[in-house]
């Protein structure tokens, strides 16, 4: 009976070892699968990282070109105005009537103002308005009985806005309290 028990125990041990081997093989297979899956995710991560870096470079290049060449269209339109100035200068040499020359200059001025408006550059209305240091540069204060102190009474140089920003403040003369004798 002891031999029989011994054989049974050996068989039990062999089964256990087989089960452990199978279990070890399954664990190894699962580990290998997990390693493969991790490798796939790593590759996806590296690919996405490279794509992001390429996107950043592309955006930086486009932004640089926009800054570098963004004014190109405006300059093209200015060239048309320059051509018209050249025509007026040439006409001045051949034309005896100054009214024709002045009329040509006025047409060019209007063309330039339309160009500015198309690009959202607008003059600042200053005369007879309240002095505002954000949009005006006071060049002089003149005592005045006719105007309230702090009122712009003369515009020396027009100011301009580009969209909602001041491009150039208006240079103005401002009314001050009249001097009492």
- Domain range for 140 is 120-181
Per-residue confidence (pLDDT) for residue 21, from 0 to 100: 64
Kind plus residue range of the DSSP H or E element containing 51 = helix 2-69
Half-sphere exposure in the Cβ direction for 152 (13 Å, CA): 24
Residues 28 and 43 in one domain: yes
Could you tell me if 169 and 131 are in contact, meaning their C-beta atoms sit under 8 angstroms apart? no
Q: Among residues 70, 90, 105, which one ends one of the domains?
A: 70
Q: How far apart are CA 124 and CA 20, in angstroms?
A: 89
Residues 147 and 104 in one domain: no
Could you tell me if 84 and 107 are in contact, meaning their C-beta atoms sit under 8 angstroms apart? yes
Domain count, the chain: 3
Residue 37 CA, distance from chain mean position:
42
Tell me: pLDDT of 87 over 70. yes
Residues 130 and 172 in one domain: yes
Q: How far apart are CA 178 and CA 181, in angstroms?
A: 10
- Residue with structure tokens 């007026």? 88
| Mean pLDDT within 116-140 | 95
Residues 130 and 177 in one domain: yes
Per-residue confidence (pLDDT) for residue 100, from 0 to 100: 85
Q: What is the CATH number of the domain that holds 151?
A: 2.30.22.10
Could you tell me if 156 and 181 are in contact, meaning their C-beta atoms sit under 8 angstroms apart? no
Residues 88 and 52 in one domain: no
Rg (CA), the chain: 42
How do 121-124 and 152-157 pair as beta strands?
A: unpaired
Per-residue confidence (pLDDT) for residue 118, from 0 to 100: 93
Tell me: pLDDT of 25 over 90. no
Residues 95 and 132 in one domain: no
Within 8 A by CB and 6+ apart from 161, the residues are: 121, 122, 123, 124, 135, 167
């Amino acid at each position: 009976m002891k031999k029989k028990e011994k054989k049974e125990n050996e068989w039990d041990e062999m089964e256990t070892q087989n089960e452990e081997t199978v279990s070890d093989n399954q664990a190894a297979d699962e580990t290998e699968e997990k390693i493969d899956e991790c490798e796939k995710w790593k590759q996806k991560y590296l690919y996405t990282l490279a794509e992001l870096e390429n996107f950043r470079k592309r955006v930086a290049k486009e932004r640089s070109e926009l800054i570098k060449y963004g004014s190109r269209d405006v300059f093209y339109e200015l060239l048309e105005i320059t051509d018209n100035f050249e025509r007026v200068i040439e006409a001045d040499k051949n034309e005896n009537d100054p009214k024709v020359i002045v009329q040509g200059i006025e047409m060019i001025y209007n063309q330039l103002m339309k160009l500015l408006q198309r690009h959202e550059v607008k003059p600042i209305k200053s005369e007879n308005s309240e002095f505002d240091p954000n949009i005006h540069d006071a060049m002089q204060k003149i005592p005045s009985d006719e105007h309230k102190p702090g009122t712009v009474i003369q515009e020396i140089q027009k100011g301009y806005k580009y969209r909602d920003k001041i491009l150039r403040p208006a240079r103005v003369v401002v009314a001050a309290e009249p001097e009492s004798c």
